Amino acid sequence: MQRIVIALSCLLASLAGAGCDTLFLTRPPIDLDEDDDPLGECTGATVAAGEPITMGAARTRHAAALLADGRVLIAGGHDNSYLAIASAELFDPASATFAATASMATPRQDFTLVALDDGRALAIGGFQNEGGSVRGTEIWDNGAWSAGPDLPEPRTGAAAFVADDGRVVIFGGQNNAESYPQRVLIFDPRDDSLSSTSSDVVPPRGSSTAHALADGRALMIGGYYTSALDAVDVIFADGRARQGPAIPGARRSACAANDDVGDALVFGGYAGGALSDVQRFDAAADQWRAAAPLPTARYGCEAVTLSCAALVCGGVDTTTCDALDFATGAFDADVADIGTEFDFTMTALGDDRVLVAGGVRGDELENVQRSARVLVLR
């Protein structure tokens, strides 16, 4: 099983001068726990949405990670002031409640949060309103944060995944409006060190979709640099990277999940308008194949893999969810309403439940959400 975390940033409009996509630069942070083995049998892609649960703070462009003990750590983001925040909280799936934990030393939004195998969590980079892109990392350990190693350069919206040996592979992101760092990095939790590899992702870009495959590799799909791109990078657990086959149709701000055999499903995206096509990456054949199209065109969405369906939720101008039933290969449309559109986090809890937290509905400056919901596949 591989965990991948995505935090592809949306910077302020003032950064638009260097090829930044100010319409919708990125996807929010997300922790996808893709399980290689089915969790059980289900009779269809029926999803029940629980009642809203109040979080400790309104937040969007925050990050979430499923910890080794089954709780979800949620940290950072920004509130209705549009200023980055440092607060953090823990969601307990057993009681469906939130509790405060220590705040980070550095307020940050559009950052990456990775759950480590030893029970800790690593916060990587991000963005501050006055300080710009963040170079520092922080490590959460049993309710307290401490400083981690600095990145070689500041990165907003990097992606990362945990390899089978516990190391964290970090790639992508943006350094303010100045550059898109391409070098792949590795964090080693055995000594909390950070090192650079000799591999780069190509071409430099933002707004791409990062996703882990069941075979230990990860994909960096599409993105934006002056226009939507169809480029794909394949990143290995040892930090090596190579160019993969281009995805059919340039796109940015798509979302992705695994199917029942561990291949990647890429849903929608944006290329002059919201897309409804779904592309499946056949990992064994190293090629793309078309899958059933989305009932609702989406970009800025989130997706997770459950035992017998892939659940796709939200996106700009929509709060609904569609579910791709693995048994039939078809979508069940509008299976749930999550009450938030984009820049939320969506965390699979490992038992056919999903936590949807925060985000924005409508005007981002006024409608940052303070609520969360638990979705259940039945």
At 158-175, the pLDDT tens digits run 999 999 999 999 999 999
What confidence score (pLDDT) does residue 9 get?
35
What confidence score (pLDDT) does residue 20 get?
38
Does residue 191 form part of some domain?
yes
Q: Cα separation of 104 and 125, whole Å?
A: 12
- Judge if the upstream peptide bond of residue 245 is cis by omega within 30 degrees of 0: no
Does residue 12 form part of some domain?
yes
Joined together, the tokens standing for residue 33 give: 């726990």
Does residue 315 form part of some domain?
no
What confidence score (pLDDT) does residue 178 get?
86
pTM for the model stands at 0.90
Does residue 339 form part of some domain?
no
**CATH value at residue 270:** 2.120.10.80
What confidence score (pLDDT) does residue 224 get?
95
**Which range of residues forms the domain containing residue 81?**
3-40+61-300
CB of 300 closer than 8 Å to CB of 314 = yes
Q: Cα separation of 49 and 339, whole Å?
A: 10
Does residue 325 form part of some domain?
no
Instruction: Tell me which residue of 191, 56, 76, 92 sits closest to 145, measured CA to CA.
Output: 76
Helices (runs of H) and strands (runs of E) counted in the chain: 0, 33
Q: How many domains does the chain have?
A: 1
CB of 304 closer than 8 Å to CB of 312 = no
Instruction: Calculate ∠ Cα 349-110-114, nearest 5°.
Output: 40
DSSP 35: -
Does residue 236 form part of some domain?
yes
Instruction: Tell me which residue of 93, 37, 40, 38 sits closest to 64, measured CA to CA.
Output: 93
Residue with tokens 């780069």: 200
Q: What are the φ and ψ backbone dihedral angles of 362, each rounded to 5 degrees?
A: 80, -130
Does residue 47 form part of some domain?
no
Q: Mean pLDDT, 10 residues at a time, over the chain (378 residues)? A: 45 33 34 38 74 97 97 96 95 97 98 98 95 96 98 97 97 93 98 98 96 95 96 98 98 97 96 97 96 97 96 97 96 96 96 96 82 94
Does residue 258 form part of some domain?
yes
